[in-house]
Structure 1
Amino acid sequence: MTYPLIVIPFVVITVVVTLATRRRPRFAARMRASALAALMLLALTAVFDNVMIAVGLFTYPEEHLSGIRIGLAPLEDFAYPLCAAFLIPAVATLLEKKPR
């Protein structure tokens, strides 16, 4: 189960950084936008990962996976777009200059 272990730090960092922005303005609106972006990215990942795996562009060694799949795509593949949808806006928010 190598791939699930690789995903854990990304998820933890995403949660910590996102929660660090909870007192910044428009947190709720940013979370709604991130959730919508995450849904779209997850849908795209489901479609394209399944197609790429089906045509043989890449494979995963079974011993490194959790065993949970969505179609042909391992569940671990869905962590990265989910993290990106929340982490990138959170980092951008933390890098914004605070108004004086």
Structure 2
Amino acid sequence: MNCKINRNAAKVLKQMLESEGTEGKMVRVYVTLEHGDHAHYDVKLDTPTVHDEIVKTDKGIDVLLDKREPFLDGVWIKYFYVPQEGFDITNSSKIHHHH
């Protein structure tokens, strides 16, 4: 499975991972809603399960992706400060995107 992260997202995710009470947690991207040819995604801190693949990124952050969910392969985690601050998670290999 593949996952990319932009610089802004890496900075924010590292801050999340370094915050209080996150020992042993990793970044997880998950599908919040799936309909037809596309899905909506979100990100949270979580612990690995037997169904996860730990994907290493070029930003030094490992990401948990559930191997049973095809919409997760190829996700790109971006973080923008304008026009509105927040994550934008897309998967161009799966046609559509969303957060």
Q: TM-score, normalised by structure 2?
A: 0.29
The structure where helix makes up a greater share of residues is 1
Q: TM-score, normalised by structure 1?
A: 0.29
Higher relative CO (Cα under 8 Å, sequence separation at least 6) belongs to: 1
